[in-house]
Amino acid sequence: MSDTDPILSGRDLVKTFGPVVGLNGADIDLYPGEVLAVIGDNGAGKSTLIKCFSGAHEPDSGAMKVAGQPVLFRSTHDAREAGIETVFQTLAVSPALDIAANLYLGREIRKEGFLGQVFRTLDKKRMRAEAGRHLQDLGIGTVQNITQAVETLSGGQRQAVAVARAAAFGSRVIILDEPTAALGVRESARVLQLIDDLRGRGMPVILISHDMPQVFEVADRIHVQRLGKRAAVITPQSHTMNDAVAIMTGALEVDEAEQALGPVRPVVG
């Protein structure tokens, strides 16, 4: 695999739900170190597309690769094992659990020795210490108490926990489906900063968002999804926000030669 090969790719993906067509031959490529925004109208198939890579959906047909290897994920667990972490549009945190427990949901650290192996006793102290470190790493200073139940956090802090969880465990790719839809201006800015930090660490990110200024600020490339397919890939430099909206609605078509189908960022480290 060379540096210019995609870390994640999908070809001709089809996913139907009974009579409803979610994906109608969709392609996607994510290159190392980049932030790829995915935009499109409601129902264009953005969530369905990324759910194939999150293990939440199995495509009916088509090919998926991660790091050059063909993959088929049967569960979100499979996708996580492959290094892909997703913050879903419908936020998957457990409100009654504390922050550390949420970070480690599904991959709890057990105590060493007999207690852990036989009674599956959780090593809460270690989880809290490590959760605190993860949040610190991500610069989420407003969450002071790691033992605070997530239901007592603000929407933005909750989102930060979900993003922190993904950032802490995603080893290859992080997918964020509308991470700022419910957030205020300051909280959105913080999530945007997190995305930038992730890119700074060389972690590729897929960001689904309806917020055009945000997309144009943070994305290296912009995948426009329309009617279950990739309609075009543009960049903030090659096209305007008006162009992007026109492509979304089908008012503008872009020749392949004018698209950013390959990487546009120099690959880091």
Instruction: Report the residue number, 49 or 82, with the smaller CB distance to Mg ion.
Output: 49
Contacts of 195 (CB under 8 A, 6+ apart): 35, 176, 205, 207, 218
Interface residue with ligand ATP, options 9, 47, 86, 188 (CB under 6 A): 47
Partner whose footprint covers residue 10, from Mg ion, ligand ATP, none (CB < 5 to 8 Å by kind): none
CA distance 131 to 126: 8
7: amino acid identity, one letter: I
Instruction: Report the residue number, 47 or 214, with the smaller CB distance to ligand ATP.
Output: 47
- Max intra-chain CA distance, the chain: 65
**Total interface residues for ligand ATP by CB under 6 A:** 12
Residue of 212, 240, 247, 241 whose CA lies nearest to 226: 247
CB of 58 to ligand ATP, least distance (A): 12
Site map (CB under 6 A) of ligand ATP, residues 82-121, x = contact: -------x--------------------------------
**CA dihedral (194, 95, 98, 165) positive or negative:** negative
Backbone angles phi, psi at 17, to 5 degrees: -120, 90
Give the binding range for Mg ion (CB under 5 A) out of 44-52, 58-66, 97-105, 129-137: 44-52
Give the binding range for ligand ATP (CB under 6 A) out of 45-53, 61-69, 103-111, 198-206: 45-53
Q: Are 26 and 228 in contact (CB under 8 A)?
A: yes
Residues that bind ligand ATP (CB under 6 A): 17, 20, 22, 40, 42-48, 89
Contact residues for Mg ion, defined by CB under 5 A: 46-47, 89
